[in-house]
Amino acid sequence: MQDTITIRETFSTRDEAEDARERLESAGFSRNSMNLMRSGERFELTLHTRPENRQRARDCIEASDVMFEMRRYGREIADHAPSPGQSALLVGVIAAIGAGLYYAYTRQREIYAQTYPSRRRSAVRSLYEAHREEHEAGRAGRGEATGQRLADRAPGVRSDVTGYGA
């Protein structure tokens, strides 16, 4: 191949040379175009490539390991990221759950409003307040006397609503 150049770089350890080779591979250079040889106590990485790739190869060889690791980690994360369809499905499911909860909440309010008309709701509220006042005063007990006191506090409430006999 006449239009190729040879780029050589020496490293003090084999691990450094292999890391540089891995960076070159991840940048798209062919593993077949690289040669890693021992030269005394040092290791030499030789790359055969086209002249227009010289700067890109130099950048890969001299690149910081931290930046390379960050780029590689980013690519690995991107491989496991959800697709746009999965993201849209997730948003749809969350919206459906929210709509269901909203419907259940408003439906419960409608059932409550139908079960307890406003007149009975105020009576139930006054019964609750009377019971709470008695409980705070330490006189809360069960029986006819307590039921009678509660019924006195909420006139117009039938005994089947209070739960106490008349």
pLDDT, mean over the chain: 78
Distance in angstroms (rounded) separating the CA atoms of residues 104 and 83: 32
Which of 44, 46, 22 has the alpha carbon at shortest distance from 34? 46
Assigned CATH class of 5-80:
alpha beta
Pair type for strands 34-39 and 5-11 = unpaired
- 10 or 80, which is more confident: 10
Looking at beta carbons, which pairs linking 73-80 to residues 24 or more positions away fall under 8 Å?
Answer: none
Domain ranges of the chain: 5-80, 82-115, 118-162
Give the predicted TM-score (pTM) of the model: 0.40
> Given this model, what pLDDT does residue 94 score?
97
pLDDT at 152 over 50: yes
- 94 or 128, which is more confident: 94
